[in-house]
Structures are given as structure tokens and as C-alpha cells.
Amino acid sequence: MSTHNIVFSTLMGILFLSACSTDIFNQTEGNMPSKDDILSIKQGMSQEKVRTILGSPSAISSLDHRTWIYMNSTMKKMAFLEPEELDRNIVVIEFDFDGKVKKMLQLNKENGKNITISKDETPVMGTDETFMEKYFGGVGYMPIEATKENNGL
């Protein structure tokens, strides 16, 4: 083996090993107002006043638009390993029909719930191909030409 090949192999080995990162870093994501701002929210406050104090929520309930959620989490990440959640904070503010604060709830990692995402799929009727369509569907297929009768379809 030549000296050139040994040097090249050694450099490639060092490059390969240096690509395996052992850096550990924490990453915080989300919009969490300060504790003083959260404590200043009182029952009966308007949505505009809450938005002025806390800022825009991280999420708004899509079902009734009366529930605002402020949340953040801190994740520990290392190279290619699965991230680990270190901390989670959630503030849920419910408004009544008049847009006034009805209830406020604070959750963290210990008293919150972990929700597993379902992998189930809802079948759509009419999308299953028959054996003949699957294997012989393209045989003799002639696309429909656009005409005045079928509105260009």
C-alpha cells in the first residue's frame, strides 16, 4: 500500500469520525409570556386586552375560536438521537361568547397529558381499484378530447 493511500485513508477516517456529532444542545420553541404577564390576566378581561398583555397565542381552537393556547417546550437534542423533552409549559385561556376571559388553566410536563397520534386512515369510497383496473386499466385507454359538449373536460 502506498503512502498516498495511507494518508488518504487516514484523512477520510478522521473526516468520517468528525461527522459524528456529540454536541448536546437545548432548543426552546413556542411563545410563552412572562409569569407576571400571565398573573395579570383576570376573569372578565376582553380578548383585545389579553392580546395586548400576552401577545398572539401559539394556537387558537379551531372548533369554537374561544380557546387560546400559549405554549412552549424545551427539547434536548444530540446528534441523530431522538429528542428528549425537558420542560413544557401551557397556558389555556377560555373566553365566553362575549369575548371575556371565562377561565384560565396552566399546565406543565408533569400535569399535562401526552397524546399519541393515531396512524389510522379513513377510507374514501370509490378510490379502490379493481383487479382489472389495476393491471389492465391503461390497455386501450383513450383520453376524452375537449369538446363544446363536455365544457372542455
- Render pLDDT for 97-109 as a digit per residue (tens, 0 to 9): 999 999 999 988 8
Q: Give the other-Cβ count within 10 Å of 114's Cβ.
A: 7
Q: What is the pLDDT of residue 121?
A: 81
Q: Return the CATH class of domain 23-114.
A: alpha beta
42-53 pLDDT, tens digit each = 999 999 999 999
102-152 pLDDT, tens digit each = 999 998 888 877 778 788 888 777 667 777 777 766 666 555 555 666 555
- The yes-or-no verdict on residue 21 having pLDDT over 60 is no
Reference 42, options 34, 50, 54; nearest CA is: 50
Which of the pair, 82 or 143, is modelled with greater confidence? 82
The cell numbers describing 104, all together, are 384560565
Q: What is the pLDDT of residue 66?
A: 93
- The yes-or-no verdict on residue 27 having pLDDT over 90 is no
Reference 92, options 70, 108, 110, 112; nearest CA is: 70
Report the chain's mean pLDDT, rounded to a whole number: 80
Q: What is the pTM of this model?
A: 0.58
- The yes-or-no verdict on residue 1 having pLDDT over 80 is no
